[in-house]
Amino acid sequence: MIRELILYKNHFLDFYKSQDLKVQEKIEYVLDLDRFENHVPTKFFKYIEGT
């Protein structure tokens, strides 16, 4: 199953581009988990609940 990630305006891209290469790789890893895995561990998204 492939999920579609929808980004709001340029907020994410601005944030992503301002990060170091190692941090960008970690962000890509988590986003790939979200796109391709049936079950995503809550530790990756628990801090953005309710925001």
CA atoms within 13 A on the CB side of 32: 6
pLDDT on residue 24: 96
- Between the two ends of the chain, the Cα-to-Cα distance in Å is 26
pLDDT on residue 49: 57
What are the pLDDT digits (tens) for 10-44?
999 999 999 999 999 999 988 888 788 777 777 76
> Is the pTM higher than 0.85?
no
| C-alpha to C-alpha distances, 48 to 1, 21, 51, nearest whole angstrom | 23, 23, 6
Tokens of 21: 């290469």
Note whether 6 and 35 are within 8 A (CB): no
Tokens of 38: 């049936």
pLDDT on residue 5: 78
In the predicted structure, residue 45 carries a pLDDT above the cut 80: no
